[in-house]
Structure 1
Amino acid sequence: MASYDFLIRFWGVRGSYPVPGQRTLRYGGNTSCVEVRTRHHLLILDAGTGIIHLGKQLTHEINQSKKRGLKLVLLISHTHHDHIQGLPYFTPAYNMDTVLYIYGPRTFSDDLVQILSRTMEPNYSPIGLDELNSQKVIQNVGERAVLVLRQDSETPLVCTSNSLKYDSRKDVLVRVMRSYAHPKDGVFVFRIESNGKSLVYATDTEGYAGGDTRLIEFARDADLIIHDAQYDPQEYLDPVSPKQGFGHSTYEMATEVARKAGAKQLVLFHHDPWHDDAKIAEMESKARELFPSTVAGAEGLEIKI
């Protein structure tokens, strides 16, 4: 049996758009995608271009194990391009024996399935959502929803906190917080819990003076926080081209959340596409002065908790 409750792998850590090339070799250029494995379940956080390489790895695992398919839970923080653009190229989605549960927000009165379908219409994509042959369950979830993944069932249960019944040692819980610190209709922050361990995924959120108190409380005592850190403070407050109001944080904002929440570890995430490896390494070093247990997210990074 594994000696950890969560295995977290980073497949895409970049924000806005992919940036392949020599300047991004260390941290990677793919957009947002994080794999979370528990003892009995496989969850995926966002479907940026990083999910393409994850899909290739999962297909290899299917072939090696002679399984027919997988049960996967995909959590969408919001439906901006850099968080869904890899979905049409996710090879397990074409496997008829794979069951793909997709959960995310209802945005501007549109259901999640409507939004995903629209992005894959013929004007934009040669492949429609209906042509992904996996068994798809696509469902909106609200801020009060809690997903329960039971040890003895591969089917997630969607319930409210008031009706929640679970085994905290064996089951996996996904809690949702809707943050409005991102333009237009906000973003979902996810907290995944099991056996006393927890991780928080807080991409595309912008900090406040003194810290985002709702997020700090939501992330209280987390073992790991994955937090947006797209800008350095100078960029954020640049007098010519300020970034305030863009819906992204500085590394200082990320470390403040981690420190005030009492988190054990922080991963800087959603790197700016203009930042090369040297710039990200510099931001990581400065962030560690504020919160020592900080690492900049990179493709291939694995964390066990």
Structure 2
Amino acid sequence: MRKTAIITIIAMTLMLCYFTSASIVKLYRAGSPMPAALQEQEVPYRLVLITQEMDTPFWDLVGDSALAEAEKQGISLQIWGSYGSNEDDFLKKMEIAIASKVDGIIVQGLDTEEFNELTKIQAGRHGIPVITVASDVPMQDSLRRTYVGSDHKEAGRLVARELLSDMGQAGTVILIGGSRQRYDQDLRLAGIHDILQHYPDIHTVFAEAPDERERVVSAARDVMNRYPEADALIAVNSNITETLVREIGKRYHQSPFRIYSFDDSPETMELLKAGKLEGMILQSPEEMGRISVDLMVKWLKGEAGPLDMSGYYTNIRMVKAEELP
């Protein structure tokens, strides 16, 4: 009888351990912070990847490739983030990572004073290196080690060159961006200007459209009313493309505008396939995840030498509808 009781207790203990382990693995894969006891796992380095856009196709690709590289390097990587561009929650995740004294932070850049304070002062005080990925911030303001991602200025040039090829050397072009100037957006605008400034018969107009859907709709209507003669429209803010195109489609059976986007989400790709867009910039999120982890590990090991402060650019290209299957 006693032997049976002992066997029963052992079996229950093993089952409890199994389900506890399974729950922990599920929590880890969901990108949640690990319990303190698990943070002491025996790995050479503990890194975190933090984004404002959890569970989006682009950042899923960045995260998956970063996790694969971390496994290859034999280090710990956790993916944290916020949903729907919740800046407060995003910055809180940064604070937690710094307080946890992780060995390195790979993060989607956010060009605000609060973000720069965290990277420049708090992370710097603890000797935690920061690498920005996909979205950059000015190095002098943030003291980030380097940037890994698209060359947004070159992306602007690519769009401008394609526009010239499609539209010719005269016309009116509307540039629609966010009311809050983000660093990536500024670089795209600079790249567009680099090319179009040499064509005096091309006139550009900048219009603001905040990220909120209702305000994007309002901005789109305003643009169509004020510039009905416009020839092309460039969505400089990559988050507004889908709403913008759909609103234009409500007014025109066939859009009179050539529309270009810096967004390569699945939704935008479908708009391109449907002929609603003239072209879009395709990025390389897998490269971003892999290279950022590799550079961070090399830096921590002292194998990288001085990192290129201007950044490590991943592949970009202009995609047209006729190129798609």
Structure of larger gyration radius: 2
Compare the two structures and name the one with the higher strand fraction.
1
Please report the TM-score for the alignment, with normalisation by the length of structure 2. Answer: 0.27
Please report the TM-score for the alignment, with normalisation by the length of structure 1. Answer: 0.28
Compare the two structures and name the one with the higher helix fraction.
2
